[in-house]
Amino acid sequence: MTTQSHRRSERIEVLYGIDKNSNAIMEFIHRSKYKYDVYADSKAPSYVIKIEALRKSYIEFASKGGHIRFITEITKENLNYCKEIMKFVELRHIEGIKGIVRINEKEYQSNLAIEESKLASILLCSTLKKVVELQQHVFNTLWKTAIPAEKWIKEIEIEIEIEDSRSKESHKKIQLWTNQDQTQYAITLEGNSELLATTDQNTKYTELVKQSDYLEELEYDWDYTLNHWINNITDSLPFVSSASGGTFETQISAEK
């Protein structure tokens, strides 16, 4: 009798529509006792943070001692959202995750399709023991191969720093400096005191005469560039102040 009753309580259900599915997801979290496992695509972290009711449910579950394991694809685009959800979930990374799957002690949920533009959403729910056990096995296998979020985020941040550094380097200016008497000249790169070419290595260069974009991919002949600029200077060419408002002073020898 108990076995028959248990079997009748097991079910598979398909829900349609965003409202029904949203309610079902919230109820699923509330029915979770100690564990709540999720693997989802890269958009999921933003949903958790942006949807207030969902975010609160996660935080409440964690604050009561519940353990949330969350697998997603951590990218540059969702990095900030991932950092936020790490405050209340244990997060790991796997590339190429699709859809959304949730598992607790006795239930399984999966978003089969979501088309926000058409307000269409299909949610598969199951309490069949064999289904839950199978999906839990799938999740555990993914969890073992997934990369801890801290490690992956560090790699992303290093990559971002390198890209930013390259971007700043490629946007530097080539600068032509002169001395107070306007008789000697030198070339530097913006933000760097090293003289690339100079007419006199012992002169102090204090006035910025001219600057142009530095193209990192080009190979420059700095002596030629200096001579070319000097030949094109006229007495009427006004000086322009340094972008930082300071002056450039150096006695470093030119390195050719």
DSSP letter string, 69-118: EEEE---TTTHHHHHHHTTTSEEEE-TT--SEEEE-SS-EEEEEEEEGGG
Query: What pLDDT sits at residue 32?
Result: 95
Query: What pLDDT sits at residue 151?
Result: 96
Q: What is the largest CA-CA distance in the chain?
A: 105
What is the rounded distance in angstroms from the CA atom of residue 177 to the CA atom of residue 39? 58
Identity at 44, one-letter amino acid code? A
The pLDDT mean for the chain works out to: 82
Query: What pLDDT sits at residue 250?
Result: 34
Query: What pLDDT sits at residue 120?
Result: 55
Query: What pLDDT sits at residue 49?
Result: 95
179 plus 63 within the same structural domain: no
**Which CATH number is 45's domain given?**
3.30.870.10
82 plus 207 within the same structural domain: no
Cα separations (Å) of 161 from 74, 79, 164, 176, 190? 17, 14, 5, 29, 20
Query: What pLDDT sits at residue 249?
Result: 39
Identity at 215, one-letter amino acid code? L
187 plus 104 within the same structural domain: no
Would 158 be classed as within a structural domain? no
Task: Answer for the pair 194, 188: CB distance below 8 angstroms, yes or no.
Answer: yes
pTM, two decimals, is 0.64
Which residue, 92, 115, 150, sits at the end of a domain? 150
Would 49 be classed as within a structural domain? yes
Would 252 be classed as within a structural domain? no
- Whole-number percent of the chain with pLDDT over 70: 80
Mean pLDDT (whole number) for 3-31: 77
pLDDT (tens digit per residue) in 98-145: 889 999 999 999 987 655 544 457 889 999 999 999 999 999 999 999
Would 126 be classed as within a structural domain? yes
Structural domain range at position 71: 2-150
Burial of 223 (0-12, 13-18, 19+ CB in 10 A): middle
Phi, psi of 171 (to 5 degrees): -100, 10
Radius of gyration of the chain (CA): 31
37 plus 144 within the same structural domain: yes
Q: What pairs with residue 100 in β-bridges?
A: 40, 111
How many structural domains is the chain composed of?
2
79 plus 24 within the same structural domain: yes
Task: Answer for the pair 60, 121: CB distance below 8 angstroms, yes or no.
Answer: no
